[in-house]
């Protein structure tokens, strides 16, 4: 089997419009959550989120492109440009024919849907722009990345709610690992911070009105974010021969299904995914130094996740570090695993563990080292990234320092 | 502004050129407007004149709206605008 390394990373999220700014914000424990700004926000019970401000789409795209790119596609393309510029790859001939793009996404072009529903239902218009469908489809971002970078191999979109990005990156890993593709562009994006998007989440009564405080006893729900994370997964020898910088190695993954409840998480399903990733990567539990938690800040997730980690790691659970960066960039749904992978890369490459900010009170049901409030320096050999989605679909990735 | 001028303005915007560079005898192809651009043009014409253009992208030639040149589009729009006033 082929070894797989990450040779490029890109992002847009509430913490920064690129990777260096995002990592700096994570190191400083900065919070990207604030007052939401969009039409009709005053009609929402939940008015906070990790929204991407100071983003000028017209600086990146022309009018014709903007008529086809929903916000989630815009984020994806900007992140992909950053990742590919870092990797220094151009695709032509055989490399183009075999390389592809697999991205995670949950809501598709939610802003496009929202605006057009508003126009036909609320404003009574009987005509919509001709590109509504190609703009809102979930695969739009993956398709535009394939077009912009000439990727002609396997390309598609994976949709598993909050685990979409991790499932997508697992697929990309598998393709390079198995020799199907020399390079895969992967990650995910989401942009559902619009009236209809937040209104739908509000209905579920799991959202916090004030802050995201994962693992803290006084946590009171999740806070939604938006953004994209895109990576270049490359076959090790291919990367080595061209002298590419390797950010981290992807060494394994596992996917499991709880097969129990549409929203309530299961300790067993999560534990099987974590243990499965270790097994796939041929790692011992003691090898793991850091876990980027799913850590949504809901009562149910955080205690279930901590119990699953305790089950898998036994005594070592008290020695590893586990943090939730959702406290800073919010829950970016289908893009969240990709943005969180940046924290794993920072832990492995830079030896800096991103904190769980907003942590105020210990919870006996989450009695692990959650790296509260301040980043920490530590040498980490192996990191895991957890994602446990609504629908009981779990995906865990294992990364190693290079 | 006349119907002709308004149609030319919309087509020019789609072609990303100045209205003065659009000739009545130009075809959409001459102006570099592809099938997606044409559908956007038709949408813009419908919005501008509050008309419904009978155009099916599957069979552009079979539609009761001649898109073979700028002047046939103008004539088609004029006919639809007149019909709307009846």
For the sheet containing A288-292, what is the strand order? A156-158, A100-104, A183-190, A227-235, A4-13, A248-257, A393-400, A382-389, A288-292, A321-323
Does B43 contact chain A (CB < 8 Å)? Answer: yes
| Cβ distance of A130 and B40 shorter than 8 Å | yes
Q: What is the pLDDT at residue B59?
A: 81
Residues A344-363: tens digit of each pLDDT: 999 999 999 999 999 999 99
Interatomic CA distance for residues A278 and A283, integer angstroms? 5
Residues of B in contact with A119 (CB under 8 A): none
Can you say whether the dihedral through the CA atoms of B68, B69, B73, B75 is positive or negative?
Answer: negative
A130 contacts in chain B (CB < 8 Å): 36, 39-40, 42-43
pLDDT of residue B58: 83
pLDDT computed for residue B56 by the predictor: 85
Superfamily of domain A252-400: Thiolase/Chalcone synthase (3.40.47.10)
CB contact under 8 A, A130 and B43: yes
* CB < 8 Å to B42, chain A: 130
B40 to chain A, closest Cα gap in Å: 6
Sequence spans of domains, chain A:
4-241, 252-400
Q: Which of A262, A116, A114, A123 is nearest to A200 (CA)?
A: A114
Regarding the domain delimited by A4-241, which CATH topology (the fold level of the hierarchy) does it fall under? Peroxisomal Thiolase; Chain A, domain 1 (3.40.47)
Do domains A4-241 and A252-400 share one topology? The answer is yes
Q: Which percentage of chain B shows pLDDT scores above 70? A: 100
C-alpha torsion angle, residues A145, A150, A152, A155 (rounded to 10): -10
Which of helix, strand or coil describes residue A256? strand
Question: In the predicted model, what is the mean pLDDT of residues A111-133?
Answer: 96
Q: Tell me: the pLDDT tens digits for A197-221?
A: 999 999 999 999 999 999 999 999 9
What are the structure tokens assigned to A253, written together?
A: 């993954």
Q: Which of B16, B39, B47 lies closest to A127 in CB terms?
A: B47
Name which of A62, A130, A140 to mutate to probe chain B: the one with the most chain B Cβ atoms within 10 A of its Cβ. Answer: A130
| Cα A142 from Cα A151, distance rounded (Å) | 10
Q: How far is B37 from chain A (nearest CA, A)?
A: 9
pLDDT number for residue A357: 98
User: Cβ contacts (< 8 Å) between A67 and chain B: which residues?
Assistant: 40
Model ipTM over 0.95: no
What SS3 class is residue A232?
Answer: strand
Instruction: Identify the CATH class of B3-85.
Output: mainly alpha
Contacts of A62 (CB under 8 A, 6+ apart): none
Domain ranges of chain B: 3-85
């Amino acid at each position: 089997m082929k070894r797989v390394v990450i040779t490029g990373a890109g992002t847009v999220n509430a913490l920064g419009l690129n990777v260096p700014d995002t990592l700096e914000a994570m190191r400083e424990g900065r919070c990207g959550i604030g007052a939401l700004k969009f039409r009709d926000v005053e009609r929402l019970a939940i008015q906070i989120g990790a929204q991407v401000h100071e983003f000028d789409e017209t600086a990146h795209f022309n009018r014709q492109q903007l008529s086809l790119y929903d916000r989630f596609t815009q984020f994806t393309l900007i992140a992909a440009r950053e990742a590919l510029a870092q990797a220094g790859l151009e695709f032509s001939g055989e490399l183009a024919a075999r390389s592809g793009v697999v991205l995670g996404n949950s809501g598709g072009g939610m802003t496009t849907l929202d605006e057009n529903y508003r126009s036909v239902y609320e404003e009574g218009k009987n005509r919509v722009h001709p590109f509504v469908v190609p703009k809102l489809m979930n695969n739009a971002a993956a398709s535009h990345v394939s077009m912009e970078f000439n990727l002609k191999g396997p390309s598609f979109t994976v949709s598993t709610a909050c685990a979409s990005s991790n499932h997508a990156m697992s697929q990309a890993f598998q393709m390079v690992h198995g020799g199907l593709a020399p390079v895969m562009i992967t990650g995910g994006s989401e942009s559902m911070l619009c009236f209809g998007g937040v209104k739908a989440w509000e209905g579920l009564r799991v959202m916090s009105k004030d802050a995201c405080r994962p693992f803290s006893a006084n946590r009171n729900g999740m806070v939604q974010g938006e953004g994209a994370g895109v990576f270049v997964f490359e076959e090790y020898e291919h990367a080595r021969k061209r002298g590419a910088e390797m950010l981290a190695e992807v060494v394994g993954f596992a996917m499991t299904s709880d097969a129990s409840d549409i929203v309530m998480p299961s300790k067993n399903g999560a534990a099987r995914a974590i243990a499965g990733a270790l097994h796939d990567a041929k790692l011992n539990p003691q090898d793991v130094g850091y876990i980027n938690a799913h850590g949504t800040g809901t009562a149910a997730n955080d205690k279930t996740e901590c119990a699953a980690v305790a089950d898998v790691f036994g005594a070592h659970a008290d020695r590893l570090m586990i943090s939730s960066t959702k406290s800073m960039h919010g829950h970016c749904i289908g893009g969240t695993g990709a943005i969180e992978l940046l924290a794993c890369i920072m832990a492995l490459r830079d030896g800096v563990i991103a904190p769980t900010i907003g942590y105020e009170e210990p919870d006996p049901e989450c009695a692990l080292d959650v790296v509260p409030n301040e980043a920490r320096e530590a040498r980490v050999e192996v990191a895991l990234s957890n994602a446990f989605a609504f629908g009981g679909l779990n995906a865990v990735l294992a990364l190693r320092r290079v | 502004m006349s119907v002709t001028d308004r149609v030319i303005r919309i087509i020019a915007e789609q072609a990303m050129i100045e209205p003065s560079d659009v000739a009545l005898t130009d075809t959409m192809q001459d102006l570099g407007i592809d099938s997606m651009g044409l559908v956007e043009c038709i949408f813009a014409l419908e919005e501008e004149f509050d008309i419904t253009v009978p155009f099916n992208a599957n069979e552009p030639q079979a539609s009761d709206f001649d898109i073979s040149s700028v002047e046939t589009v103008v004539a088609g729009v004029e006919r639809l605008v007149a019909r709307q006033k009846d």
